[in-house]
Amino acid sequence: MSNTVPVIGIDPEELAWIRTLVWLLRHPDPVVPELARQALLYLEAAACGGMSTPNRETAAINQR
């Protein structure tokens, strides 16, 4: 394993999750990457304090 992993802020124990995420985002079935993307938007909104709006994707985009 490369020693450069900590430079980008990822612990070696987290690499399995990153690989899984990349695999989901590159999945050949177009529904799987879209679902993964929506899940990431949901988690981002939850990490930022949660949102009560029904359309979290639009709200997350408007916050940027």
CB count in 10 Å sphere of residue 30: 8
Instruction: Tell me what pLDDT residue 11 has.
Output: 81
Instruction: Tell me what pLDDT residue 4 has.
Output: 54
Q: What is the pLDDT of residues 1-48, one digit of tens each?
A: 555 555 677 888 888 898 999 999 999 999 999 999 999 999 999 988
- Helix%, strand%, coil% for the chain, nearest 5: 65, 0, 35
